[in-house]
Structure 1
């Protein structure tokens, strides 16, 4: 029997983009745009992606890793203020096992040279899942892809 446990942590990532604020926000808000950058492993196989970007809307993303494990992300949007903030809750699963539940807040602000974005994730890892920094690393890779997408490269960076 697997021991039930919870491990809480908070991740904060700040990024600065050359792109104007509406372009950065739009990279989150439009399904065709988000699909271009929302991945941390270019060699994984996309299985399903859906985005209903509105308060009460949802997002799902399923991919298969090179070893066949299905990584599933399911989010629900709680609060959206265009060009200012996004608040959403999401869970992550490996095959049929839920490994984490999170509350994420993304804030955006114009800067003289582009856009500032601050991402804060309050995450609880479940039932002994040993993250070992994988969530932070994967999220940072995703935001590196976001930078490539909004700062000039319109194609999927990975």
Structure 2
């Protein structure tokens, strides 16, 4: 019998974007846009992506790493206030093993020259999963990608 355990932590990340608030918010809300930046590892093979961004909606994303491990993300949107905030709960799995469950809140505010985004994730790592900072690192990489996406020159060809 495996030992059951929970390890709680909170991750807070504040980012500033040189882009209008609506552009940053929509990068989360519009499936075609989110697919372009929501990844933390180049070279991983996309398997499934679905986004229904609304209160009561859901999201799923499955990718395979180079070694064939399937990383699965499944979210449910609890509260969505256009251009202000959204709150969602999600779990992460490696193959068939649930490694964490989280509640995340993202707040947006206009500021001179762009948008301030504040991300807070309350996460519980399950049954001895040793994160060793990889969640924070992966989230930071994703937000780096978001910055590149929203600050890109729309007139420049991709």
TM-score over 0.5 for the alignment? yes
Note if 1:56 corresponds to 2:56: yes
TM-score of the superposed pair, with normalisation by structure 1: 0.96
Aligned to 1:81: 81
TM-score of the superposed pair, with normalisation by structure 2: 0.96
Q: How do residues 87-126 of structure 1 correspond to structure 2 at under 5 angstroms?
A: 87-126=87-126
Once the two structures are TM-superposed, the CA of residue 2 in structure 1 deviates from its matched residue by: 1.6
Aligned to 1:135: 135
Distance 1:153 1:50 in 2: 27
Structure 1 segments of 4 or more deviating over 6 A? none
Aligned to 2:70: 70
Aligned to 1:16: 16
Once the two structures are TM-superposed, the CA of residue 75 in structure 1 deviates from its matched residue by: 0.0
Higher deviation after alignment, 146-155 or 10-19: 146-155
Aligned to 2:148: 148
Q: SS at the partner of 1:123?
A: strand
Unaligned runs of 5+ in 1: none
Q: SS at the partner of 2:130?
A: coil
Unaligned runs of 5+ in 2: none
Distance 1:125 1:23 in 2: 32
Q: How many pairs were matched up?
A: 156
